[in-house]
Amino acid sequence: MAENRGKPHAIMISVPYQGHINPFVNLALKIASKGFSVTFVHFEFVHHRLSKAHHCNKTQVDIFSEARESGLDIRYTTISDGFPLEFNRDANYDEFWGKVLREFPARVDEFVRKTIESDPYLLHFLVADTVFSWPATVAEKYNLVNVSLWTEPALVFSLAYHLDLLRENGHFPCKDNIHEEVNYVPGVKSMSTRDLISVMRESEQRNSYTMLESLFLAFEQVRKADFLLHNTVHELEAETLSILNKYQPNYAIGPINFFKNLPTYTVSKSLWSESDCTEWLESKPPGSVLYVSFGSFVHTSRQEIEEIAYGLLLSEVHFIWVVREGILSSGDTNTMPDGYEDEVKDKGLIIPWSNQIRVLSNPAIGGFLTHNGWNSTIESLWCGVPMICYPFLFDQPTNRKLVVDDWKCGINLCDGTSVDRKEVAEKIKSFMSGAASKRFRQEANKVKTILHHALEVDGSSEKNFDQFIKDLTEKIH
Ligand code: UDX
């Protein structure tokens, strides 16, 4: 133990959703690559899902074994959320996340106490996802430096940070069908209430008190963080970040899912088994395939699925569509319309899960019909792929605004409130062919250049990360 004397040690606890796991794992590798020791903690049920997805028994899955082989000091462990493993957390979101908000903090507290006691010579610090309800409380109790990772755009962070201001102006909660201008949030360009994060809407607040409580608790806690890391790039959100910097030290270090010079890392982080689409894609002309996915969390209705399904067919465009098990809000597992897959034939590939970055990087991909989760949005832009946007909830409506209105890298799928197969087909057809597609691709390529440059040695994110490590080291010693 004594050889650890004075070595900085990150205790990192991941949020159990794919869109949070992916950047968090990469951040752990990057911190470890700077010579720090890391303990990475997954929820126990996530660990079991990884074992299932990789077809191996649970003791064989250690997502960091390769990293350790290449010399990184990174341990991997799990923590229980208090539910039995078989409890369906997706179908019972409110019950699950409610418990994570209210009862999980005591489990974290005990875990942190034991970790510190097991090696008191290390200089422990905490790295937690901003959406948790406990980081500042735990950090204060154990006198730990507190690093918070925000996995969505800085714009969304700023809106959530300024809830009081939105409330004063009558926009929190905001009315569902009335669109008003929001032009008073520091560092945020004028925007419509239509583009606020979904939990700010009246209807959403009626649906899920848990989401609202989660937002309040998280943003009460994050004000006390010592350092805030953002999965974005300075050049894309400079004004917003510079205002946030006045409150706390903020570092834009993204896009985290594309960090360079990490040890060879082949163990997939996916919670579902990935289908390999390479051969199918390679049989298609460049730019001809539309990739369709709504991420890991969104639930939808059978009717919505049907309209999109027949819209895709009517468009006559080749497509890969990720239809995740459990995507229907009804819980029904029979997702596709009867006989649909026979009608599709070689026009499309319907799969349960993909290696998304590999798919988006394939030259055959010409567009991405997306829910605009922040990871998907950034991954698409990293590959220069323009988007057809179909946001559902959380930050997705706000991310849509960045993509369509600010960066001009895509279009909206629907102009009205409901999705209709004819409109879907027309939008897809015109988006994937001709001058419009070329223009959107050019704009996407401009953002791509910014993202790629940010991670070069002299790029803004790489420099910000180095500065963060310097500031962190000074603070923990
Ligand atoms: C959630 C929220 O829904 C989203 O709004 C928020 O920005 C992040 O947390 P999720 O819905 O999963 O995330 O969307 P997204 O952020 O796009 O993350 C999905 C991740 O899963 C991406 O990194 C993507 O590469 C990966 N993925 C998705 C796959 O690897 N294969 C797939 O088939 C689909």
- What pLDDT, in 10s, does the model give residues 25-69? 999 999 999 999 999 999 999 999 998 998 776 666 788 988 899
CA of 269 relative to ligand 1 center, distance in Å = 12
The arithmetic mean of pLDDT across residues 392-421, rounded, is: 94
Rounded distance, CA 381 to CA 395, Å? 17
Q: How many CB atoms lie within 10 A of CB 136?
A: 20
The predicted-structure confidence for 241-253, as pLDDT tens digits, reads as follows 999 999 999 999 9
Rounded distance, CA 368 to CA 371, Å? 10
Atom of ligand 1 nearest to the CA of 376: 17
CA-proximal residue: ligand 1, atom 34 (nearest): 295
- pLDDT at position 265 is 65
SS3 408: coil
CA-proximal residue: ligand 1, atom 6 (nearest): 373
* R_g of the chain computed on alpha carbons: 22
CA-proximal residue: ligand 1, atom 13 (nearest): 19
H/E segment holding residue 9: strand 8-13
Rounded distance, CA 198 to CA 190, Å? 18
CA of 373 relative to ligand 1 center, distance in Å = 6
Phi-psi region of 128 (alpha: psi -120 to 50; beta: other; left: phi over 0): beta
- Is the per-residue pLDDT at 161 higher than 80? yes
Asked whether the beta carbons of 105 and 134 are under 8 A apart, the reply is yes
User: Which of 197 and 268 is assigned the larger pLDDT?
Assistant: 197
pLDDT above 70 coverage of the chain, percent: 98
Strands 191-192 and 123-129: unpaired
Pocket lining for ligand 1, CB < 6 angstroms:
17-20, 22, 151-152, 257, 270, 293, 295-298, 322, 353-357, 373-376, 379, 394-396
Nearest to 353 by CA among 77, 59, 11, 49: 49
CA-proximal residue: ligand 1, atom 23 (nearest): 375
Strands 191-192 and 227-230: unpaired
Atom of ligand 1 nearest to the CA of 20: 9
Rounded distance, CA 256 to CA 238, Å? 17
Torsion of CA 423, 428, 434, 440, to 10 degrees: 110
Q: Which is it for the CA torsion 373, 379, 381, 385, positive or negative?
A: negative
CA of 46 relative to ligand 1 center, distance in Å = 15
- Is the per-residue pLDDT at 2 higher than 60? no
> CB within 8 A of 98, min separation 6: which ones?
210, 213
Atom of ligand 1 nearest to the CA of 297: 11
Q: Which is it for the CA torsion 113, 118, 121, 123, positive or negative?
A: negative
CA-proximal residue: ligand 1, atom 27 (nearest): 356
The predicted-structure confidence for 326-373, as pLDDT tens digits, reads as follows 899 988 888 999 999 999 999 999 999 999 999 999 999 999 999 999
CA of 152 relative to ligand 1 center, distance in Å = 11
CA of 18 relative to ligand 1 center, distance in Å = 6
Average of per-residue pLDDT values in the chain: 94
Rounded distance, CA 14 to CA 308, Å? 33
Report DSSP state, residue 40: E
Atom of ligand 1 nearest to the CA of 393: 5
CA of 4 relative to ligand 1 center, distance in Å = 37
Q: Which of 20, 296, 358, 398 to mutate to test the pocket of ligand 1 (most atoms within 8 A of CB)?
A: 296
Reading the block at residue 13, the tokens are 């606890």
Reading the block at residue 286, the tokens are 């460049």
Max Cα separation, the chain?
Answer: 69
Q: Which of 157, 356, 381, 395 to mutate to test the pocket of ligand 1 (most atoms within 8 A of CB)?
A: 356
Rounded distance, CA 390 to CA 419, Å? 9
Q: Which is it for the CA torsion 433, 438, 443, 445, positive or negative?
A: positive
The arithmetic mean of pLDDT across residues 143-149, rounded, is: 98
- Is the per-residue pLDDT at 1 higher than 60? no
SS3 12: strand
Q: Which is it for the CA torsion 150, 155, 159, 165, positive or negative?
A: positive
- pLDDT at position 332 is 86
Rounded distance, CA 177 to CA 202, Å? 10
CA-proximal residue: ligand 1, atom 20 (nearest): 19
SS3 48: helix
Strands 318-322 and 348-351: parallel
Q: Which of 376, 380, 393, 399 to mutate to test the pocket of ligand 1 (most atoms within 8 A of CB)?
A: 376
Q: How confident is the model at residue 150 (pLDDT cuts 50, 70, 90)?
A: very high
Q: How confident is the model at residue 284 (pLDDT cuts 50, 70, 90)?
A: very high
User: Which of 70 and 224 is assigned the larger pLDDT?
Assistant: 224
CA-proximal residue: ligand 1, atom 26 (nearest): 356
